[in-house]
Amino acid sequence: MTRRVAILISGGGSNMLALLRDMAAGDHPALPVLVASNDPKAAGLAKAAALGVATAAVDHRPYGGDRAAFEAALLQPILEAGADLVCLAGFMRVLTPGFVDRFAGRMLNIHPSLLPLYPGLHTHRRALEAGDAEAGCTVHEVTPVLDDGPILGQARVPILAGDTAETLAARVLVQEHRLYPAVLRRFAAGDRTPLFL
């Protein structure tokens, strides 16, 4: 059964584009049915539309601190698209357990660190400050605990002398665009075996 994927973004959506490109390459167990953002100005929305993928924008700001109300609005286009798999890709809103539990076992996220190292923000700066020899990215199943679900894949990069958070982020992002599509292909085919690139 072909899985129907909704991708949630907040900005440029480079990971979203990598996922769309791979699903368009054919022989893929999933198809994209929606790209949605919490920011109506997210540049990724126009890029997805240009590729023929349905889009939706649900601005989180009018909901203030009422996360449940924002998520109830965000859920509508996801359900209308008939999505049965959700990929968070540069999505910068913390989701409540109520939303996460609705997609238990059916929601993925990519995080720019080698989890369980550095959940949360500023991962590259933290790795540099710790003097780590390597960094990387992780695709994991989303659970109510932030950046904590079962690991589905990781890719590693060396940290080089003179690296800044920006140079390291750029090196990791290249691997994100390899890892996330590869993990989605396996996950959509029912294979949860972790992939280490």
Token pair, residue 106, equals 């059916």
Subset of 157-186 contacting ligand GRF (CB under 6 A): 173, 176
| Strand order from edge to edge, sheet including 107-111 | 55-57, 30-37, 3-9, 85-88, 107-111, 134-141, 151-158, 195-196
Binding mask 4-43 for ligand GRF (x = CB under 6 A): -----x-xxxxxx---------------------------
Q: Name the residue with the smallest CB distance to ligand GRF.
A: 90
- Number of residues that make up the chain: 197
Binding mask 93-122 for ligand GRF (x = CB under 6 A): -----------------xxx----------
Strand partners, 135: 157
Phi, psi of 139 (to 5 degrees): -105, 130
> Is 32 or 112 the residue whose CB approaches ligand GRF more closely?
112
Phi, psi of 126 (to 5 degrees): -65, -40
> Is 16 or 135 the residue whose CB approaches ligand GRF more closely?
16
Sign (positive/negative) of CA torsion 108, 51, 27, 181?
negative
Q: How far is the CB of 132 from ligand GRF (least distance, A)?
A: 17
Residues that bind ligand GRF (CB under 6 A): 9, 11-16, 89-90, 110-112, 137, 173, 176
